[in-house]
């Protein structure tokens, strides 16, 4: 999924419209991915390597067959050192092949547990919230809508002033609107729908006053 200039404009307009009736601030941020998941690739490569050694342990004839293929069928029975060398080479080759296959981000994501993805998207959202929105408003009423495209997951993170008045489950409808559109390949429309829902909640608890100013940018930030 990619975001066009028109998509950016759509989300920016949605944020401006939502903030027109509230003193709260909505920050929208889209990341290509929340993590590289190279550690997941390493874990799978090590598992594949151990699997090759387990196969040799349960079927020692594999190493003997490899030796015969290299030395010829009339060669003497291989000594233990040769068999261990074959096992070492096979394990190393399996590890390198697995790492090569897992060089693809798509493959790494496919092999990453959903719970791991959820934790890392949440961690990235919190980190971006702390650096871009937390305590940046007078009333502590900033909300970050974070979307990670590779994982197709999102997070809504609210500032301390909002936590005191708004139950976290009130963001459920906004999250549902966002993810439905994301799964259909329309992330910008999902963000705009989520922003509208969030704006309605903020308007109830943080109505706009006569002297309110725009404290955070309305534009969509794409990492």
Q: For residue 141, what is the domain's CATH number?
A: 3.10.310.50
82 with 162, same domain: the answer is no
pLDDT block averages, 10 residues each, the chain of length 223: 89 92 90 94 96 88 77 70 86 95 94 95 93 76 92 91 80 89 92 92 84 81 90
Q: CA-CA distances (angstroms) from residue 95 to 2, 44, 91?
A: 34, 9, 6
119 with 30, same domain: the answer is yes
Residue 207 carries which DSSP code? B
**Count of H helices and E strands in the chain?**
9, 4
Q: Can you give the pLDDT at residue 166?
A: 80
Residue 181 CB partners (closer than 8 Å, separation 6+): 187, 189, 190, 191, 193
Q: Can you give the pLDDT at residue 74?
A: 63
Decide which of 92, 110, 128 is a domain's last residue.
110
Residue 106, helix vs strand vs coil: helix
Q: Can you give the pLDDT at residue 5?
A: 92
120 with 94, same domain: the answer is no
Decide which of 48, 82, 110 is a domain's last residue.
110
Say what the pTM is. 0.84
171 with 72, same domain: the answer is no
How is residue 126 written in tokens? 């919190």
Domain range enclosing 217: 5-35+113-222
Domains contained in the chain, number = 2
């Amino acid at each position: 999924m990619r975001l066009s200039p028109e998509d950016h404009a759509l989300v920016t307009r949605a944020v401006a419209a939502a903030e027109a009736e509230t003193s709260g601030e909505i920050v929208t941020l889209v990341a290509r991915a929340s993590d590289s998941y190279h550690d997941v690739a390493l874990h799978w490569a090590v598992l594949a390597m151990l699997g090759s050694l387990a196969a040799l342990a349960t079927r020692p004839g594999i190493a003997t067959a490899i030796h015969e293929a290299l030395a010829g069928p009339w060669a003497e029975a291989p000594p233990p050192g040769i068999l261990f060398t074959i096992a070492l080479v096979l394990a190393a080759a399996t590890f390198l092949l697995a790492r090569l296959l897992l060089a693809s981000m798509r493959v790494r994501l496919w092999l990453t547990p959903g719970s791991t993805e959820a934790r890392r998207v949440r961690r990235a959202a919190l980190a971006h919230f702390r650096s871009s929105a937390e305590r940046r408003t007078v009333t502590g009423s900033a909300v970050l809508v974070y979307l990670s495209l590779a994982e197709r997951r999102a997070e809504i993170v609210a500032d301390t002033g909002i936590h005191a008045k708004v139950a976290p489950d009130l963001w459920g409808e906004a999250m549902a609107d966002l993810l439905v559109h994301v799964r259909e390949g329309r992330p910008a429309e999902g963000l705009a729908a989520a922003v509208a829902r969030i704006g309605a909640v903020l308007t109830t608890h943080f109505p706009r006053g006569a002297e309110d100013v725009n404290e955070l940018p309305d534009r969509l930030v794409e990492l």
